[in-house]
Amino acid sequence: MILCCSTPMIPGNSLTAQAEQLREWGYDAIAVFQPREEWNRDVHAELAALESRTGVRPVEFVLTGDIYGHAMSESAELRAQCRDMYREAADVCAELGLVTEIEFEYGPQDPMPLFDPYQQLTPEQDEEFTAFYTELLDRVAGSSAAILLEPLNRYESRYLNSVADNLAIVTRVAHPNAGLLPDTFHMSIEEASIPDALRSAAGQVRHVHLGDNNRLLPGHGSLEWDGIFRALRDIDYRGAINLECSTTGDPAVTLPQTAARLRELIDA
């Protein structure tokens, strides 16, 4: 498995500075969550040369901003803007062999879905979302990039909260660049058993986000990490395990400590 960390968690005023920090702290790879308003040719060139300059490999690329997560918005203008941003991210991934993710929606839910979990898409919603997903997949076809579905918890998305619901779409599109991006924080809310859910998706897990049940670093909550990593080994997962959570204090202290602990779990 490839040990990775997300850019919002890493100090440094450039991708190069952040990657150099990660290398010192024991990480193999970096996941780039790039504010769209700061995305330009210079940053693009820096990203493309990052591994050769630092030894740290970019594995995930996401353009971020207020329009993120609105690919299925009722506003035609917002929907179009979001989809264009996803297309741009997909093109970068196709060029550099990275993964990115999409969701039906992303954002705080109002009203909060306290007693109505696992809502299902209508046939019309399913058809439109699957069509857009397939469009993005075809955009990266022939490359080593992947467009992944990430199950989100019910408080951030009304739909596609479980691994099973996302797996059904991935199975149906049957595209070589498709797959799943399980996130242990979201799974701690939605799955009865994180290890069982991971095993159920064997062969489709292409990237993994790590965060404890309280969205702190692994080991700072109540998740049973030995069992999670046992499941990843059982499905022969060899991709990136990417920290996407809070650093829980000074990252110069907590991120190296977490890297050492994750190495132990990987090598167990």
What is the value of pTM for the model shown? 0.97
Q: Which of 264, 245, 208, 265 is nearest to 29 (CA)?
A: 208
Residue type at 150 in one-letter notation? E
Structure tokens at 8: 């919002």
pLDDT of residue 118: 92
Closest CA to 99 of 183, 181, 34: 181
Which pLDDT band, with edges at 50, 70 and 90, does 110 fall under? confident
Q: Which three-class secondary structure state does DSSP give residue 13?
A: coil
- pLDDT (average), residues 61-72: 97
Residue ranges per domain, the chain? Answer: 2-267
For a pLDDT cut of 90, what percent of the chain falls above it? 96
User: How far apart (Å, rounded) are the C-alpha atoms in residues 156 and 109?
Assistant: 6
Mean pLDDT value across the chain: 97
CATH architecture assignment, domain 2-267: Alpha-Beta Barrel (3.20)
Residue 116 above 90 pLDDT?
Answer: no
Contacts of 191 (CB under 8 A, 6+ apart): 162, 163, 197
Kindly state the tokens that stand for 181.
């991006």
User: Which one has a higher pLDDT value, 110 or 188?
Assistant: 188
> What is the tens place of the pLDDT at every residue in 8-37?
999 999 999 999 999 999 999 999 999 999
